[in-house]
Amino acid sequence: MDINPVGILLVKSDSKGHRLLFRYPFVSKSEAETGKKYVRQTPYSLHITEDPLYQTNSMKNNGSELTEFSDDLLSTLFAVKSKFYGHKFELKVNNMRFVGHPANIQQYSGSNSKKKPDGPSSILIHFVFVLKASADYSVVKSYYELSKRLGIAIKHEEKRCGYFGKEMKMMMEAHDLDSTKLDEGNDNDQSSFDTILNRCSLARNMKFIYENLCSSGIVHFRLNNWIEVSFCLTQKAHSVHIPNFSIGPEEIDKCLQNLKPYHGILLLEDILTLLNSLPPDSSPSLTRFLKVYSPLKNFQMISADSDLTIAQVYNIIGHFLNWGYAMVIYPLCESNIYVIAPGAVISSDSSLKEKFNAKFPGYNLLELMHEFSLPSTMLHKLNPLTHSEEQAVLVQMVAWMLRHRLLMQLHTYVYFMPTKKGMMHFEEIPNISHSRYQSMNANFGQNGSDGDSYSLKAPSDSDLSSVVSEDFVKSPMTTFQTELNSWLNMSLVDEGDKIDEFVIEEDFISGLSEDEKGALLKIPATSSPEDFHLLIRLLKQGYLQGTSHLEEIMYLENIRRSQLVQLIEKFQDILVTCECEDPAVSIFYPNDN
Amino acid sequence: MLRPSRFYEGCGRDGPIRCIFLCEFHPTAGPKIVCQVPEDYMSKDDFESVSVYIIPKAQLFKNVITITVFGFKILGFPTRIDDKVYARNAYCFNLCFVFDAWARSVHYENIVKKLTDFLMSLEITCRFISQLANNKSNGTQLVTMLNQVMNDLNTHKYCVLSGPKVITHLKVVQIRPDPPPISDCEVPVLLDSKESFHSDRWDLTTMQILPYINGVNHVKKISAMAGVNNNLVKSCLQNLVYYGVVCMIPIFLYSSMYAVTPKLRKLAVDKKLQEECILALTRTGKESAQIRDIFCMYSNMKSGVTMKDLCIRFNPLQLNIDERSLVEFGILEGFIRRIHEYPVNLETSMMNDVPYSQYLTGEYSTDSICCMNEISLKQLHDSIESYPNIVFICK
């Protein structure tokens, strides 16, 4: 993966010309030039035999060095025309990619200037990140964002106290001194960049940025000890925990959209470390969130305990995910089924094993992994004689293994397949209510479901599961009314009024084919009204089409696991169950396909 | 509601070539466009702002340069011919392709290079491009050529270009990630029928191993049967995987286990896929298998349940399901994935007394241990069974 930067450059251009002020990493003069070697981009690319007729002076950079680019050349390339100011600038030369945000700042001559103040002069400053050409687009975009932020910070500091002017002067002096020394012939080993690094705080900041991007992906410092610059390279932040694994911000956004209030998070960092690393001006909701956090709680519980709205909780989670501090899980509980994740590292002499030993002395990681080779619940691992202490350790070990993506949770999905033909054609399933997400959204405070907005939304939602049955198309009811009806029905069920419910059931059954009806009515449990009502209720909500796992059904319908499991057992001839991972959280697992 | 455009920077899609232009360094006027198709795609203003990157400093000549700005992506390969006949003793030119900023352009790099070489030979042999201004017929010929390149590459991804005395072939070759290394115990499966395989397009070694690719033989066996060196077989197969001709699947054993992936849901709802599936795994000469039986068999696959267990439970023979095809189809469509077993010795200190101890580190699956040592799974189980410290981890 090509997430790490190859280098960072700073170029200025003003009325006195352009100059590469600083680059990091730089090569000291004494270091020899690296040998030129031709590297093919892929094993399938043609090896171009060079013809002396076509003389080449191409820079055969090997993708990790920037030595072939002279300072002068770099400064010409990135001292861009004014037309580019404030736009994304991206240049690719062979297998190097350069990305930056050229920013224009007004220079205010410092108060100690002896010259007459002649108004602010305009300077172009351009922080350029050098990446490998194969870097992913989202990585490039993140670096662009950082370049932009640096530009803004510099602009602010320049306006406040002429910071950039001073730094630039120091850098220029060092460069000039170097070139005069060169003219005089007494060349020393120390390059001007070394001098700059010693003297200028901006250069030290750039070094800091580069090193942090390479190590953790998180950059946090105060420019000129004043303005805070804070940036996270999401792709890198997650690879710190799992080597060679990256999640982009786009994927996280997608994941956030699929999260439900029954999900929970697992922090990847120690909670105290996190609390201490928060800047003093951070939002108090963050602290509140962290104080009530537990991997056993779902978002709704966290929201209730911390007195934050669920929308706020989602926002905080978004931050944690982007900064690589957390992953989404279904809250830990005894009935969760876990199995070894397909990407898990199994090795008898891995550092992971030692890390585990240090944390849980007396336990063997591989043995534990062996125990989870077959899908099993924590309940299986416990017996009535287990001490509560041991139980706590087991929970911690499972959390640890989840954090290191050694374990993965399996969920049970249910499909209603009454006949050999498989599932009823999903369009035929009379599904009068898909209000469940709507109502959830209303709870989040994201959008209210007033009649108008809903009927506008209805057509776009009417893909897969939510197609209104023919019965309802025939009736003059609008979608909104059916919506309302279903809610009414549901509340009626709660009140124990069975009449309307019965009508709906009749409706549903009349929608089935003869074979399907036969298969359904053959089941002895059909005669028990309670079981039958529950089955029809679940069918109507579209839960038995493999989209909702048991936990989701439990949450949305507010029923107990035992009830649901019993129901599935009773109707096992027409229901097919399968166990697999929840796709909503699968982005947190390395995928080798 | 406005739908977000499918084309945005980073969407990873290919886009058409929007424009091809040729520019040169004029001894007095500096960088200028001498010819472009379609005309006036690049305005003079836009060109001037990027000309630094199109006719760059001397060090950057003969380098592929792509600049993305203002919604354009310009791909060029600046070239210089040193010769005394030119003013300033050199002639600099650059043939550039222009794309939309969202389009991927890496796979056009070699085409730009090749086309540049083509123009260079024309220039060296008959001063074709440096004399464009004085020679009207050359000008129209170049416009026709560039138009041809643009249209052919956009529609056919292929172009044969002939100029005076020179001919060149251009082809857009997709750059894909390298396929993973092939292991001995994997089985190659042809994704299309053998008949659609153009024998003239492949190398001799590939042709030699092709008859043995039947979805049953594993790599090591193919190598032995075809009498081709194992590593050669692997690189041939890797090449075939790269071009999407074959797919590698794990070897089929009745002792192997599989697990369901979320993709299985597709089979429940997609009628077309169901038909394909029934067609693929009904036993020959029997009545069509039923989708619920197929789905049930898939959904019961999990760690701990071997194919043997599954067959005993469902009796696929009676259901007209061919279990081998069931697994193959499932793997290819991604409904299921193979669960491998990794034997691990928990007691690392007594490594040496145990048979195959060097393989018991957790890095080798039972498949690969058996394949490397040419033993059966049963033999492996028998020989390590008596050691309580050896456990199996499945993933």
Nearest CA among B358, A338, A363, A268 for reference residue A354: A363
Measure in Å the smallest separation between the Cα of B288 and chain A Cα atoms. Answer: 11
Long-range contacts of A46-53 (CB under 8 A, 24+ apart): A46/B110, A48/B113, A53/B124
The rounded distance, in Å, linking the Cα atoms of A68 and A58 is 10
CB B268 to CB A423 under 8 A? Answer: yes
- Residues from chain B contacting residue A346 (CB–CB below 8 Å): 342, 344, 362-363, 393, 395
CB A581 to CB B261 under 8 A? Answer: yes
Per-residue CA distances from A301 to A264, A293, A561 (Å)? 9, 9, 19
CB B348 to CB A349 under 8 A? Answer: yes
Cβ atoms within 10 Å, residue A451: 13
The ipTM estimated for the assembled molecules is 0.85
- Residues from chain A contacting residue B344 (CB–CB below 8 Å): 346, 348, 366, 370
Q: Concatenated DSSP letters for B244-268?
A: TSEEEEEPP-TT-EEEE-TTHHHHH
Cβ atoms within 10 Å, residue A65: 15
DSSP summary character for residue B326 = H
Measure in Å the smallest separation between the Cα of A54 and chain B Cα atoms. Answer: 8
First to last CA, chain B: 44
The rounded distance, in Å, linking the Cα atoms of A3 and A243 is 12
Tell me the whole-structure pTM to 2 decimals. Answer: 0.82
Nearest CA among B94, B102, B152, B101 for reference residue B123: B94
- Residues from chain A contacting residue B259 (CB–CB below 8 Å): 339, 580
3-state secondary structure A460-481: HHCCHHHCCCHHHHHCCCCHHH
Instruction: State the alpha helices, DSSP H only, in A278-349.
Output: 284-292, 299-306, 310-322
Per-residue pLDDT of chain A (593 residues; tens, 9 = 90+): 678 899 999 999 888 888 899 988 887 654 433 333 444 555 555 555 544 444 444 444 444 467 778 888 888 889 888 888 888 899 998 888 999 999 988 876 554 444 444 556 788 999 999 998 888 888 999 999 999 999 999 999 998 888 998 999 999 988 888 888 777 766 555 678 888 888 899 999 999 999 999 988 889 899 988 888 989 999 888 888 888 888 888 889 999 988 889 999 999 988 898 888 888 888 899 999 999 999 999 999 999 999 999 999 999 999 999 998 999 999 999 889 999 999 888 887 778 888 899 999 988 898 899 999 999 988 888 777 777 888 888 899 999 999 999 999 999 999 988 888 877 654 444 444 444 444 444 344 333 333 333 333 333 333 333 333 333 333 333 333 344 344 344 444 444 444 555 666 677 777 777 788 888 888 888 888 888 888 888 888 888 888 899 999 999 989 999 999 999 999 988 899 999 999 988 889 987 54
Beta bridge partners of A107: A121
Measure in Å the smallest separation between the Cα of B299 and chain A Cα atoms. Answer: 5
The rounded distance, in Å, linking the Cα atoms of B169 and B161 is 6
* Percentage helix, strand, coil for chain A under 3-state DSSP, each rounded to 5: 45, 15, 35
- Residues from chain A contacting residue B290 (CB–CB below 8 Å): 420-422
And the tokens for A566? 């019993």
The rounded distance, in Å, linking the Cα atoms of A314 and A445 is 11
CB contact set of A543 (below 8 Å; sequence gap of 6+): A414, A552, A553, A556, A557
Tokens 């939309």 sit on residue: B100
Measure in Å the smallest separation between the Cα of B260 and chain A Cα atoms. Answer: 6
Helical pair A249-258 and A137-161, crossing angle rounded to 10 deg = 100
User: Which residue in the set A91, A375, A583 is minimally distant from B302, CB to CB?
Assistant: A375
CB B1 to CB A576 under 8 A? Answer: no
The rounded distance, in Å, linking the Cα atoms of A405 and B395 is 12
- Residues from chain A contacting residue B296 (CB–CB below 8 Å): 576
User: Which residue in the set B110, B260, B393 is minimally distant from A366, CB to CB?
Assistant: B393
**Phi, psi dihedrals of residue A423, rounded to the nearest 5°:** -70, 150
Are the C-beta atoms of residues A200 and A171 closer than 8 Å to each other? yes
Measure in Å the smallest separation between the Cα of B107 and chain A Cα atoms. Answer: 10
- Is the bond preceding A102 in cis, omega lying within 30 degrees of 0? no
Are the C-beta atoms of residues A407 and A398 closer than 8 Å to each other? yes
And the tokens for A59? 């820079």
Beta bridge partners of B74: B67, B98
